Structure 1
Amino acid sequence: MDFGLDNLVDILKAAGEPTRFRLLALLSAGDLTVTDLTEILGQSQPRISRHLKLLAEEGLIERYQEGAWAYFRLMQDGQSAGLVRQLLTAASPSDAVLQRDSERLAAVKRVRAERARDYFSRNASAWDELRRLHVSDEAVEGALVKLVGTTPIDSLLDLGTGTGRILQLLSGVYRRAIGVDASRDMLSVARANLDKAGVVNASVRHGDILNLPLEGQDFDLIVIHQVLHFLDQPEIALSEASRMLRPGGRLIIIDLAPHSFDYLRSEHAHVRLGFSHQLMDEWLKKAGLELDRTVDLKSEKASGDALDVTIWVARDQRLLIADDAAQETVLLAAGRA
């Protein structure tokens, strides 16, 4: 790091005020709205907004819009971001104020998770029908099958398996598969559907997509289908998926493109109003994956509630890196490098 004196002092002034430091600590744990932050800190919205504005002006945080909601997060790159993370590391985790903030943050996230779980439980038996209201399953599934291809896959992991539809759709390609879901009601439906379809090489289990109960580096292909927009911190799910991939394995994400249908938050427990290419690419790189391909699917529905879908295909690069290193070794041995 190499800061000019004035720049360094400005950053320290911005981060050094108690409320602003608390905001930085909270945002280091994930993206939050002004409403979230006012609830946690117990301060007025104008006051919180003013502090956020000062932090943004110094390039310590960034703001992005999702429908009517504005989210804030720590700046991910640059010298200022590195300095802020060092300052946060220096703070004692046992500090009473920061500890209380962390507990309130956990409560906010717990309420979100409970809303999503309740929603899934209430609608488990009709989940596929609900999804058809907003997404063209035929187009999405056709694109997915094409992207997966016909080459046999040893192992598939379907995260947020829901009714087990992906396990059924790709059953002719994989040798074995596991579907994971946090809703026991969903798992009951998935098991029934797999039995009905005669799929015997797939199983489903209860688990948290953010903390998977599985051994790492065990899957050639991982699919996350219409799940991330229900999560408070989708990037953690991507990191967990990356941990599950074998070297050279693929991760396929299917989710909504950015939209402004705010009613989906209250009526269908959506936390995120779609994902941009830039944000997904950033998260994938942070998870150690390389974006290989992006497919945008436009809705053909005339309804005002029609939603577009994006498919992102990412790959674990370790086999490619190993192959490059091996090739370089051969060239060096041959005196050609």
Structure 2
Amino acid sequence: MTARSSLSLNKLVDVLKASAETTRMRLLVLLSSGDLTVTDLTDILGQSQPRISRHLKLLTEAGLIERYQEGAWAWFRLRREGDAARLARRIIEEASSGDAVIARDQSRLGQVRAARADKAMAYFSRNAEGWDSLRRLHVGEAEVEKALREMVGEAPVDSLLDLGTGTGRLLQLFESLYRHGMGIDASREMLAVARSNLEKSGISKASIRLGDIFNLPLESGGFDLVTVHQVLHYLDEPQFAISEAARMLRPGGRLLIVDFAPHGIDALRHDHHHARLGFSHETMADWFKAAGLEVVETRDLQPEKGDEALTVTIWLARDRRMEIAGEAPVKIAARRA
């Protein structure tokens, strides 16, 4: 059953005024299909940047869209929560895809995304050889992903956060489980790859953000599931990344980490910039405990025997706080922000 809106009369009029203009309506329709920059929107609509920016400001003030910064780039997207956002989506649904203006906008959107995808794939191709050489040292991705799905289960979650999202693969893998997903990465090039992959997959309920895994640009306690896939071995102090990931969890939320078991392939330090040569179960358990988490399950996925082989380990941990109706969550040890 659709939630009933509780907008006041004045707010309802404000929302309708904000959307009742041709350019702003076109902007809403475009943003309903994913995050876009001002440059993207000016290219698609063929209007000046000041004019597009003015319309975006009005839509933001009305609570229909939101803006976030990624370095020098400003990105915009439809708001996902709130009565104004729900009304905006209902208005967008009434717009006919057969309308000549909307159809032209969608065609231009496809061209903009294709150009972005070409740039992203060029970066991916330049680095693919190194990534392929590393993948040959451990079990196949299909086996890892099968284990991830088994450990997470099929129960739906409201929100998923993928840290160090890379190509956005986990946002694709768990797409059927979450209502809203977000991927964070420190590399603008990888963010472009992830956005391109999500767009190709038709996934509009996940967004991509630039961010520091040690200091995430997000409020605490907003996610049911946080994933960290093959990231920790690049970090000098991975325990602080675990603490920051734990800060993102709602009471009872889960943290899923994929990385390598301890190994002695020192060449990975030089060839692939690994700061850590794997992690033991004991070390990870200590870091989880310090972050207020308890280990739920671990799996070691061992490759066929070889002189140089990597065991992939998956750790699933849960926030120890319990959310009880009418009571505040149990406090846990302070974490580094």
With the shorter chain as reference, the TM-score category is 0.5 to 0.7
Cα 1:128–1:190 shift into 2, 3 Å: farther
**1:201, distance to aligned residue in structure 2 (A):** 1.1
Check conservation: 1:153, 1:174, Cα contact below 8 A: yes
**1:286, distance to aligned residue in structure 2 (A):** 0.6
Residue of structure 2 aligned with 1:150, choices 144, 150, 154: 154
Is it true that 1:210 corresponds to 2:183 in the alignment? no
Match of 2:270 in 1: 266
Residues 181-330 of structure 1 aligned to structure 2 (within 5 Å): 181-300=185-304, 302-319=305-322, 322=324
Residues 109-128 of structure 1 aligned to structure 2 (within 5 Å): none
Match of 1:62 in 2: none
Match of 1:54 in 2: none
Check conservation: 1:225, 1:253, Cα contact below 8 A: yes
Q: Secondary structure at the match of 2:264?
A: coil
Residues 50-129 of structure 1 aligned to structure 2 (within 5 Å): 129=132
**1:123, distance to aligned residue in structure 2 (A):** 5.4
**1:287, distance to aligned residue in structure 2 (A):** 0.7
**1:272, distance to aligned residue in structure 2 (A):** 0.3
Count of residues in correspondence between the two structures: 204
Cα 1:238–1:294 shift into 2, 3 Å: same
Q: Deviations over 1:41-94 (max 9, x none)?
A: xxxxxxxxxxxxxxxxxxxxxxxxxxxxxxxxxxxxxxxxxxxxxxxxxxxxxx
Cα 1:180–1:127 shift into 2, 3 Å: farther
- Distance in 1 between residues matched to 2:164 and 2:217, nearest whole Å: 13
**1:294, distance to aligned residue in structure 2 (A):** 1.0
Match of 2:175 in 1: 171
Cα 1:130–1:157 shift into 2, 3 Å: farther
What letter matches 1:227 in structure 2? V
Cα 1:129–1:202 shift into 2, 3 Å: farther
Q: Secondary structure at the match of 1:318?
A: coil
Q: Gapped runs of 5+ residues in structure 1?
A: 1-119, 327-337
- Distance in 1 between residues matched to 2:127 and 2:209, nearest whole Å: 15
- Distance in 2 between residues matched to 1:126 and 1:215, nearest whole Å: 37
- Distance in 1 between residues matched to 2:270 and 2:130, nearest whole Å: 17
**1:196, distance to aligned residue in structure 2 (A):** 1.1
- Distance in 1 between residues matched to 2:320 and 2:191, nearest whole Å: 32
**1:134, distance to aligned residue in structure 2 (A):** 2.8
**1:311, distance to aligned residue in structure 2 (A):** 0.7
- Distance in 1 between residues matched to 2:290 and 2:175, nearest whole Å: 31
- Distance in 2 between residues matched to 1:312 and 1:289, nearest whole Å: 11
**1:127, distance to aligned residue in structure 2 (A):** 7.2
Check conservation: 2:138, 2:302, Cα contact below 8 A: no
Match of 2:120 in 1: none
Q: CA RMSD in A?
A: 2.2
| Over 6 Å off, 4+ runs | none
- Distance in 1 between residues matched to 2:126 and 2:244, nearest whole Å: 26
Cα 1:154–1:124 shift into 2, 3 Å: farther
Q: Secondary structure at the match of 2:315?
A: strand
Q: Normalization by structure 1: what TM-score?
A: 0.57
Q: Gapped runs of 5+ residues in structure 2?
A: 1-122, 329-337
**1:235, distance to aligned residue in structure 2 (A):** 0.5
What letter matches 1:308 in structure 2? T
**1:132, distance to aligned residue in structure 2 (A):** 2.2
What letter matches 2:259 in structure 1? D
Match of 2:145 in 1: 141
Cα 1:283–1:172 shift into 2, 3 Å: same
Q: Deviations over 1:91-122 (max 9, x none)?
A: xxxxxxxxxxxxxxxxxxxxxxxxxxxxx999
Aligned residues with identical type, % of pairs: 55
Check conservation: 1:128, 1:163, Cα contact below 8 A: no
Check conservation: 1:250, 1:316, Cα contact below 8 A: yes
- Distance in 2 between residues matched to 1:271 and 1:317, nearest whole Å: 30
**1:304, distance to aligned residue in structure 2 (A):** 2.7
Cα 1:216–1:141 shift into 2, 3 Å: same
What letter matches 1:171 in structure 2? E
Q: Normalization by structure 2: what TM-score?
A: 0.57
- Distance in 2 between residues matched to 1:248 and 1:283, nearest whole Å: 17
